[in-house]
Amino acid sequence: MQDNKGIPELGRHLWVIYLLSVILLSVIWYYQWMIGLLMTLFLAAAIYYSIQTVRRLQNETEEYISTLSHRVKRVGEEALLEMPIGILLYNEDYSIEWANPYMNRFAEEDTLVGSSLNRLADDLVSRVKENDDEIWFEIDGYQFQTTIKKDERLLYLFDRTKQSEIQTLYHNEQTVLAIIFLDNYEEITQNMDDTLKSQLNSKVTSVLNNWSNDYGIYLKRTSQDRFLAVTTKETLDKLEKSKFDILDQVRGLNAEQNIPVTLSIGVGVGNTTLPTLGELAQSSLDLALGRGGDQVTIKDDTGKVRFYGGRTNPMEKRTRVRARVISHALKELVKASDNVIIMGHKAPDMDSLGAAIGILNIARINGVEGYVVFDPDDVDTGVFRLVESLKEDEELWEDFIDPEESEALITSRSLVVVVDTHKPSMVANERLLNKSEYKVVIDHHRRAEEFIDNPTLVYMEPYASSTAELVTELLEYQPKNLKLKMLEATALLAGIIVDTKSFTLRTGSRTFDAASYLRSKGADTVLVQQFMKEDLDIYIKRSKLIERAEVYRDSLAISKGKPDEVYDGVLIAQAADTLLTMSGINASFVISERSDDRIGISARSLGEVNVQIIMEKMNGGGHLTNAATQIEDTTIDDAEALLKDILEEYFEGGETE
């Protein structure tokens, strides 16, 4: 393409040459007029030729520019009308004023002109009004990426259907690894003869093979109680829609063959390498087993976790061998530490305090100083009488320190023991977790996604009645000269009694063994009842809260506290417990305002409804029969509406996350 700026530039250069030539001719004429005459004639001819050449070039350039402008205009018109890109102009009322032929293909009549933008997509007008410069929507199966020019009221629509199909294909074909574990295979087969064991293996393998064939999953048995499964993200989506019905199928073998076997599945998914997927799958399986088994845990490469199943009570399968091993390991850690810092959860209950006192005794019997982190300003009414009794024992009470004091005592070689919780956000002083290399977690709750980083020793048994029960068993394997004070043994027994509702819920044979051991150490059941007594005004307040209960879905009791009235966490938990004793009630939920401006929900069930799953949906947690949550920035009515939505999903969807 020629440069039209070159012609004037060439002319300017020629006139400079002519001027210099005239000056030179003047000098020649002065000295040699004959030569000057010849040179003048030559210069005149050159000037004439140059002018003609410049005019010719200028005419050619103007003609070229005129032709090019016509071509550009023609190409622009053809692009506007013929290119496979949608172009729409709309008015202030978001009605289409003009559409190129490409977009008119999507009109029911001949043109889109005069139609609302919502003709293309139901919510297109509202989305165009937003501040986004780009939106995606679908028209007749086509995926469009739309660029918005609000000042010109102009839309450019680019067909991205093929791109969307490729993205969908990429999503569907991502590799997914899963590890399948038979929760209690070792326990149920240890007394079986070879024939029965073979029948069990055959039955379980048959169920899993049929399931894998139905969904197109590659399944390989890697050991007696473990399988490896390889599938795709598309198949995983189908499994999630089915709520992993394989859990029900294997659990159903108990009814058919009297074989109490359940599955736990850990799944790793994401856009990452195969070794990382394997690590995610193993981590997911550990989390599922830590929550009691009989469930599926899915973890992706972003760390997001989803749960399915877990609707049955975990079977008690711990042995005294494990308790002895944990007790011995804890003893060695205590002996190797500078001191032992013990802490439970915020607003400690009977179980948390009792377990902390038990660990304090383990530190003492091994000759190491121990301290219990306790905030006197964070005490619920349910433990007030126990705390007052502890204060009367000066020797015991001097080992209770406030959170600030604990930071002055801790060293890098201190042993931090966390009891009755495993969530960093719930401990009495979270900063302590980062000040020591050695941490022990002892808890009876099902494991949640949030967990203390890099613990040295973990003793989590979700089938146990209470943390006090676990600590009592650990005490049994400490040195024989261990002596518990009556108050210390009573505090441990109180933790068991409160968490089991006086041995009526989550109670196994080991629970009674632990209680028997504590009684032999002087635990006073009458004193436990003294600790559990309540004031008359609290009883009346709880009764009024129960009076406000309504029955939902025939067997669920939901009670709401009065707006702007603060209720103690223990009080709403007791109200939920009381509602559960009513005829026809399988689960209860009590909602109220808390002193920290959050909305608290306490949930209880008899086992048919997994309240842990329901509370986890509301960022809470707990046990299958005992759970709770606290919600920020909401109202009682909104919390109730959210709870009912989750309950509807729970019952309508069968197995839930």
Average pLDDT over residues 60-79: 61
Alpha-carbon span 250 to 207, nearest angstrom = 7
Assigned token pair, 53: 């050449």
Of 56-70, 98-112, 235-249, give the lowest mean pLDDT range.
Answer: 56-70
Residue 547's pLDDT is: 92
Q: Are 439 and 454 in contact (CB under 8 A)?
A: yes
Cβ pair 86, 93 in contact under 8 A? no
Q: Which strand (E) or helix (H) includes residue 345?
A: none
What is the band of 1 on the pLDDT scale with cuts at 50, 70, 90? very low
Q: What percent of the chain has pLDDT over 90?
A: 39
Kindly tell me if the per-residue pLDDT of 461 is higher than 60.
Answer: yes
Statement: residue 71 has pLDDT above 60: no
pLDDT at 474 over 60: yes
Residue whose C-alpha is closest to residue 187's, from 315, 320, 293: 315
Bridge partner residues of 616 (DSSP): none
| pLDDT above 90: residue 259 | no
Residues 506-518 have a mean pLDDT of 89
Check pLDDT > 70 for residue 6: no
For helices 320-335 and 467-476, the axis angle rounded to 10 degrees is 80
CB 339 within 8 A of CB 370: yes
- Does the structure show a pLDDT above 70 at 604? yes
Helix (H, G, I), strand (E, B) or coil at 346: coil
Question: Quick one: three-class SS letters along 70-91?
Answer: HHHHHHHHHHHHHCCCEEEEEC
Where are the extended beta strands (E) located within 444-597?
457-460, 550-552, 556-560, 587-593
Sheet containing strand 218-223, edge to edge, reads 218-223, 226-232, 175-182, 263-269, 295-300, 305-309
- What's residue 657's pLDDT? 40
What mean pLDDT is predicted for residues 183-205?
A: 82
**What is the phi/psi pair of residue 477, to 5°?**
-105, 15
* pLDDT level of residue 646 (50, 70, 90 thresholds): very high
Does position 437 have pLDDT exceeding 80, yes or no? yes
Give the separation between CA 359 and CA 442, rounded to whole angstroms: 10
Distances (CA, A) of 336 to 44, 439, 488: 111, 13, 25
